[in-house]
Amino acid sequence: MIHLSLIGIGTGNPEHVTLAAVRALNAADLVLLPRKGEAKSDLVDLRRLLCRDLLEPGSRTHVVEFDLPQRDGRADYLDAVGGWHAAIAAVWAELMATHLPQGGRVGMLIWGDPSLYDSSLRIAERLAAGSGSCGGQGVDVEVIPGITSLQVLTAEHRIPLNALAEPVLITTGRRLRERGWPGDAERVAVMLDSGGAFEALPPENIYIWWGAYLGMNQQSLLDGWLMDVATTIIERRAALREQHGWIMDVYLLARAPHQASEPEVVR
């Protein structure tokens, strides 16, 4: 039997890794670290750092790196994601069968939290359902929650996620761009934006709190009325992507909030 632990490690600050995550990491016989290409080498570097600093002296945990399969950008989005997940599941299964032929505990260090806009749980479901082969072994999955980018965003901006007595809706940049403001939501948190989906919205009376590389040394924050700061955010994002070779950002939008800080507060 393979016991697979999906370990949320937060957004880049090693101090955000929970004690439960440390215990799960040290309990693993095998830790798999994905490499996402040279442009995103910071991500695997952080995982290497966590393994180095958090694994106990004399640990017998075996750390194995692997190249993450690429998603087909030419296919229909959902079809492409489904094929991508299947390819990743096959790689996971092969590594587990190779390194733990008699079974054991496997740890995967998941950026942020495994339950919020992350593929790892869906990929793990393929293994547990038998669509990926781990040398004929069953797969049992556990989740160790981690601090999410939305938590770090609101903490750094010192704001609550929701308005008083109001719900908040979490969506993606793709959905925001295609469908506009979702229904009667007062606040909308946007993740997985390839860049500037908020430009599809009428900018009047919308406030934005934006953050990139949250929790990391290169963290960047900006907030203000969308009509005042949209261009600044686009330019800042492009410059950061050029500088680092990759970017991860997230933002919270509010329609005419009753209380907001002064626009264009740059940190």
Q: Judge contact between 6 and 141, C-beta under 8 A.
A: yes
Report which DSSP code applies to 262: P
Rounded CA-CA distance 125/86 in Å is 10
- Could you read off the pLDDT of 167-197 as tens digits, one per residue? 999 999 999 999 999 988 999 999 999 999 9
Q: Would strands 30-35 and 104-110 be described as parallel, antiparallel, or unpaired?
A: parallel
- In three-state secondary structure terms, 33 is strand
Neighbouring-strand partners of residue 4: 106, 141
What is the value of pTM for the model shown? Answer: 0.86
Q: How many Cα atoms occupy the beta-carbon half-sphere of 218 within 13 Å?
A: 16
DSSP assignments along 78-119, one per residue: HHHHHHHHHHHHHHHHHHHHHH-TT-EEEEEEESB-TTSS-S
| For the chain, counts of helices (H) and of strands (E) | 7, 11
Q: In tens digits, what is the pLDDT along the chain, a chain of 267 residues?
A: 999 999 999 998 899 999 999 999 999 999 999 987 665 677 788 899 999 999 999 889 999 999 988 887 777 888 888 999 999 999 999 999 999 999 999 999 999 999 999 999 999 999 877 655 666 678 999 999 999 999 999 999 999 999 888 899 999 999 999 999 998 899 999 999 999 999 999 989 999 999 999 999 999 999 999 999 999 999 999 999 999 999 999 999 999 754 444 444 555
Which SS3 state, helix, strand or coil, does residue 34 take? strand
Residues constituting the chain: 267
**Ordered structural domains, the chain, with CATH:** 2-144 (3.40.1010.10), 149-266 (3.30.950.10)
| Contact yes or no for 65/51 (Cβ under 8 A) | no
